[in-house]
Amino acid sequence: MEKTYISFTEEMKKDYTVLIPNMLPMHFELIRRVFGNYGLRAELLLTQGQKIKDTGLKYVHNDTCYPAILVIGQFIDALESGKYDPHKVALILFQTGGGCRASNYINLLRKALAKAGYGYVPVISFSLAGIEEHPGFKLSIPILHRLMYAIFYADLLMSLRNQCRTYEVRRGESEELAQRWTERLSNEMKDEKKVSYKKVKENYRLIINDFNAIPREEKKCPKVGVVGEIFVKYSPLGNNNLEDFLVSEGAEVVVPGLLDFCLYCLYNNLMDTKLYGISKVKYPIMKIAYKFLLKKQQDLINIINEDGNFDPPTPFSHTVSLISGYLGIGTKMGEGWLLTAEMLELADKGVPNIVCTQPFGCLPNHICGKGMMKPIKEKNPNINIVAIDYDAGATAVNQENRIKLMLANSK
């Protein structure tokens, strides 16, 4: 079969800059640094504003998934900015390779690039499913090992920062500390030839101690969980800086970590074998990886519990158990059963107020999010959920007013 895309070659690694769309700033900054350890010069795009939406709509049909409009708009805006030499730039898209329309983003992006006059720009597919081959970008075991710890570190930093931000005496101190640790961990992972797990656990404790040292006010604030489609749940570009807005309204933000999504993907692969009899060859490897990550997650939970001052993440095995009686475990499009399970997980850990972020163009996400609100409320009468739609035509004021109403109900 003839290849229809431009590969990112070994030769390109020498002088090309790889642009990364921004979904999780701390996570992707650490991931960017890991790429740098293996000779890949990468830069995280932090651009925001209406121009990104307008650029995306110029090259992508407006009934396409909203995250695709934003990601493609951000890429083309960067190429048009004059900041980069388009002939020395590559783009990277993160893909699960599943049945979601997100698996087609890469083709949408290439079509948009050709329309904008940048059809020669290579687009790298970052996917464990091996969707495409790029000689200059290969996911080796050492790279995946470092990426795993980047996710654990960033999940911890995100959680502790959110647990401190609303209560900090000196505004911005939690964010500054998280950024300092991101820089420190990036340098450590660059300098070390081998990541020591003993050192990783030592860093967990040091991070917790540093956040403990932040002076905080003794006050009671409503906790608000954020769930939804993965891009708009996490990306400040996608959700109009939702976390900042919630903090400005006096709420403590609770966001499930990226590790849960990684475990969800592995778990779904295991279930595919049990439900449909597929991927039998990969099943033993997937099972080992799944159990390995569960053990690492439990280690982190134990360390947070030892300190006793912060709430740890929920064990993923418990999150899976909560979905029983609501959705079948084979429901996996648009964040599938995980979206419903995360709402139940938040309620289970004492976070009854939830913002469910829904991007335009993702019908499965609306089914597993907004569509499940009624059965969740019937069994959990104290839960307070609001579904917020995000699309290129929605105004931030309208979204914020609906969230303010939810916060008023919480009080």
Q: How confident is the model at residue 403 (pLDDT cuts 50, 70, 90)?
A: very high
How far is the CA of 229 from the CAs of 59, 233, 356, in angstroms?
Answer: 22, 6, 9
Taking the C-alpha atoms of residue 341 and residue 331, their distance in angstroms, rounded to an integer, is 12
- 113, 138, 163 — which closes off a domain? 138
Taking the C-alpha atoms of residue 209 and residue 212, their distance in angstroms, rounded to an integer, is 5
Domain assignment present for residue 124? The answer is: yes
Domain assignment present for residue 182? The answer is: no
Residue 133 and residue 226 in one domain: no
For residue 356, the cross-strand partners are 227, 387
3-state helix, strand, coil split of the chain in percent (to 5) is 55, 10, 35
Q: How many CB atoms lie within 10 A of CB 400?
A: 17
Taking the C-alpha atoms of residue 34 and residue 157, their distance in angstroms, rounded to an integer, is 17
For residue 357, the cross-strand partners are 228, 388
Residue 277 and residue 393 in one domain: yes
For residue 355, the cross-strand partners are 226, 386
Centroid of chain to Cα 28: 9
Identify which of 372, 279, 262, 394 has the alpha carbon closest to the alpha carbon of residue 327.
Answer: 372
Residue 272 and residue 386 in one domain: yes
pLDDT at 127 exceeding the cut of 90 = no
Q: How many CB atoms lie within 10 A of CB 376?
A: 16
Which CATH number do you get for residue 78? Answer: 3.40.50
Tell me the average pLDDT of the chain: 90
Residue 82 and residue 230 in one domain: no
Q: Which one-letter DSSP state was computed for residue 128?
A: T
Domain assignment present for residue 186? The answer is: no
Q: How confident is the model at residue 100 (pLDDT cuts 50, 70, 90)?
A: low
Specify the pairing of strand 384-390 against strand 17-20. unpaired
Residue 123 and residue 226 in one domain: no
Residue 265 and residue 357 in one domain: yes
Check residue 194 and give its pLDDT. 77
For the chain, percent of residues with pLDDT exceeding 70: 95
* Element of type H or E holding 168: none
Domain assignment present for residue 145? The answer is: no
* Region of poorest pLDDT, from 24-28, 239-243, 277-281: 277-281
Residue 134 and residue 233 in one domain: no
The pair of structure tokens assigned to 215 is 């002076």
Q: Which one-letter DSSP state was computed for residue 121?
A: S
Reading phi first (left if > 0) and then psi (alpha if -120 to 50, else beta), residue 97 is in left
* Element of type H or E holding 384: strand 384-390
Give pLDDT tens digits for 133-173: 888 888 888 888 899 999 999 999 999 999 999 999 999 99
Residue 237 and residue 378 in one domain: yes
Q: How confident is the model at residue 278 (pLDDT cuts 50, 70, 90)?
A: confident
* Region of poorest pLDDT, from 6-20, 35-49, 181-195, 369-383: 181-195
For residue 302, the cross-strand partners are none
**Beta-carbon contacts of residue 75 (< 8 Å; ≥ 6 apart):** 19, 21, 45, 91, 109, 113
Residue 78 and residue 227 in one domain: no
How many residues are there in the chain?
411
Domain assignment present for residue 149? The answer is: no
Give pLDDT tens digits for 42-61: 999 999 989 999 999 999 88
Residue 227 and residue 119 in one domain: no
Give pLDDT tens digits for 327-337: 888 888 878 89
Task: Domain count for the chain, please give it.
Answer: 2
- 99, 123, 138 — which closes off a domain? 138
- 138, 154, 180 — which closes off a domain? 138
The pair of structure tokens assigned to 197 is 């797990």
Q: What is the DSSP string of 226-289?
A: EEESHHHHH-TTTTTSHHHHHHHTT-EEE---HHHHHHHHHHHHHHHHHHH---TTTHHHHHHH
Q: What is the DSSP string of 181-231?
A: HHHHHHHHHHH-SS--HHHHHHHHHHHHHHHHTS-B------EEEEEESHH
Q: Do 56 and 113 form a contact (C-beta atoms < 8 A)?
A: no
Domain residue limits at 101: 11-138
Domain assignment present for residue 118? The answer is: yes
Residue 40 and residue 134 in one domain: yes
Q: Which one-letter DSSP state was computed for residue 309?
A: S
Residue 377 and residue 232 in one domain: yes
pLDDT at 1 exceeding the cut of 60 = no
Domain assignment present for residue 155? The answer is: no
Domain assignment present for residue 238? The answer is: yes
Identify which of 404, 400, 401 has the alpha carbon closest to the alpha carbon of residue 353.
Answer: 404
